[in-house]
Structures are given as C-alpha cells and as structure tokens.
Amino acid sequence: KESFRNQNKIPQTKTILKSEIGNVSKNKKIRVSTSATESKLADIANRICEVESRLCFLEDAHRVQEGNPSASKAEVETLRQKMDDFENRERRNNLRFMGFHEGCEEDNAVKFLEEIIPKIFNINFPKGLEIERAHRLGSRPGRGEGSQALRPRPIIARFLRFQDRDRIAEAARKMGTVTWERRRIMVFADYSKLLSDRRMKFRECKKLLHEKSIRFSLNYPAVLMVKAPQGPRRFEDHKEALAFITSLD
C-alpha cells in the first residue's frame, strides 16, 4: 500500500516541479526587464544633468544681456564657445556606432556593446569593457516609412574609461572596413552640432589631400594638420587651408 501511495504522488510531484520551474523562469525574465529599466532610468537622469548644466550657460548669457543690453557680440560669442566647449567635454568618452540593425540590442544596448565590441574589433580589455550608458538616437522608425525604415538609428555609447573609447576608435580607423553579420559598422566621435559643422568645413580640403596623396590629420577641435612637402602646416581656417592645398603641385 505504501508503494502504491508513493506512485500516486509522482504525478503530483512532477506538476509541482513544473510549476516551480515556471516561476523561476518568470522571475528571471522579471529581473532582466527590471535591470534594463534601471539602466534606462539612469541614462535619462544623466542626460537631464547634462541639460541642466548647459542651461546654466544659457542663463549666464541671458544675465549678461540683461545687465548690459549693449553687450558686444564678442561677449555673447565667448559664452557660446564656452557652452560648446563644455558640451564637447561632456561627450569626450562617447562614440557613435552606425550600422547595427534595429532591435539587435534587445532593449539592452550596454550589454550588447560590451559583448560585441571586443569581438568585432579584436580588442582585449584587461579590466573588462565597461559602458556607463548606451541608447539609440532618435525615435524608432515605424513600418511603411520607405527607406527610412531600412536605415538603422545610430547607437551612442558613453564609456567608463576614455582609454577604452580611444582604443576602439583607433582600432576602427586602422581596420578601415568593419563588418558584423554582413553589415558595415562605422564608428564616429560624438561632437556637438556646432563643432561638427566646423569640422565639416574641411571636407573639401580632405578630399583634395587624398587626391594629392598628402598625409594629414584633422585634430581636435577643428585643426587641420598637413604634412606638406615644404614642412608641416597648421590651419584653423578652412578657406586658408583650401587655398594652400590648391597651390600644391
């Protein structure tokens, strides 16, 4: 009889075990979801702090104009340059990644990049790669939006250590073409709109230098260094640089 009763308990035990396993699986999914939510909230909080800091500069500019209505354009421009410099310092540890298809990060861009970057760039990080935050830029493209829906949004990442950020940027530059799952992955520095526009003005200069096989570098913030036959030259004005490059044989 005892053996018969034990046999009857076996189906009940299986049912209980299945239920417990299901609960463990659900709890695991909840923890993953909670972790992703906490990461997004931390990212939002940091971005709010950055916005507040930039607003301080705008308030300073407003006070200058209120206290001195005849404030010169030079004074206002100085404040604008200070604000832009601060913004770019805040972006110093950032990189933008273009080419990763939508959804590949599965709502956890930090974990995705920490796992994929060492592989595709073949970099060993002795202390481990640590990313403070990462997210897509812009709103998610909806269905039926033509070519826009096919173009993935860039992922911007802020690295804990500048050295790691620098190693990734250097590896991308040396590799030239980086691919992942048959997609080309491009890496860019994260500059403010004002600084990006300043650097973009040297585009024609860089094109001519490539055609003439003259070595150069566009240094931070927007300084073109040209290794000309007669010696190195430094340009902060794109028009002066273009005139000089055009004159070279």
Is there a single domain that holds both residue 180 and residue 157?
Answer: yes
Model pTM above 0.75: no
Helix H segments across 68-134?
Answer: 73-90, 109-120
Dist CA 125 CA 202 (whole Å) = 34
In this structure, what token pair is assigned to residue 121? 């760039």
The pLDDT of residue 93 is 96
The pLDDT of residue 2 is 41
The pLDDT of residue 29 is 56
Residue 31 included in any domain: yes
Is there a single domain that holds both residue 95 and residue 183?
Answer: yes
Is there a single domain that holds both residue 29 and residue 80?
Answer: yes
The pLDDT of residue 181 is 94
Dist CA 176 CA 185 (whole Å) = 10
Is there a single domain that holds both residue 147 and residue 226?
Answer: no
The pLDDT of residue 16 is 62
Which of the residues in the chain have pLDDT under 50? 1-7, 146-148
Residue 161 included in any domain: yes
Residue 196 included in any domain: no
The pLDDT of residue 80 is 84
- When computed from its CA atoms, the radius of gyration of the chain, rounded to whole angstroms, is 27
Residue 71 included in any domain: yes
The number of domains in the chain is 3
In this structure, what token pair is assigned to residue 146? 């033509």
Is there a single domain that holds both residue 56 and residue 122?
Answer: no
In this structure, what token pair is assigned to residue 166? 């620098």
What's the domain range around 242?
201-247
